[in-house]
Amino acid sequence: MSEQPAVSAGRRLRQAWLEQTLAIPGVFCPLVARLAERMGFRAVYLSGATLSATLGLPDIGLVTASEFAEAARSICAATSLPLLCDADTGFGEALNVERTVRLYEAAGAAGLHLEDQLMPKRCGHLSGKQLVSPEQMISRIRAACAARRDPDFVIMARTDARGVEGLPQAIDRAQLYVAAGADAVFPEALESEQEFAAFAQALPGIPLLANMTEFGRSPLLDRDTLARLGFRMVLYPVTTLRAALKATIAVLHDIHHKGHQRERQNEMLTRRELYELLDYDGYEARDRSYFG
**CA gap 31, 75 in Å, rounded:** 8
CA 41 to chain centre: 13
- Any catalytic annotation for residue 115? yes
- Any catalytic annotation for residue 70? no
Active-site pick, 11, 85, 88, 104: 88
Active-site pick, 85, 188, 236, 242: 188
Active-site pick, 158, 162, 173, 242: 158
* Dihedral pair phi/psi, residue 107, rounded to 5°: -75, -15
Which segments of 56-190 does DSSP mark as H helices, in order? 65-78, 94-107, 134-147, 167-179
Of the candidates 164, 159, 144, which has an alpha carbon nearest to the alpha carbon of residue 208? Answer: 159
Active-site pick, 11, 37, 123, 160: 123
**CA gap 185, 17 in Å, rounded:** 13
Using DSSP bridges, classify how beta strands 111-115 and 83-86 pair: parallel, antiparallel or unpaired: parallel
- Any catalytic annotation for residue 19? no
CB atoms inside a 10 Å sphere around CB 50: 24
- Any catalytic annotation for residue 59? yes
Residues written for the chain: 292
Active-site pick, 113, 122, 162, 242: 113
- Any catalytic annotation for residue 73? no
- Any catalytic annotation for residue 3? no
Active-site pick, 37, 98, 105, 115: 115
- Any catalytic annotation for residue 45? yes
Active-site pick, 14, 125, 140, 211: 211
For 108: left if phi > 0, alpha if psi spans -120 to 50, otherwise beta; the answer is left
- Any catalytic annotation for residue 172? no
CA angle 119, 120, 125 (to 5 degrees): 105
**What are the DSSP E strand ranges found in the chain?**
22-25, 44-46, 83-86, 111-115, 154-159, 184-187, 209-211, 233-236
Active-site pick, 11, 14, 59, 236: 59
Whether the Cβ atoms of residue 161 and residue 173 lie closer than 8 Å to each other:
yes
Residues with catalytic roles: 45, 59, 86, 88, 113, 115, 123, 158, 188, 211
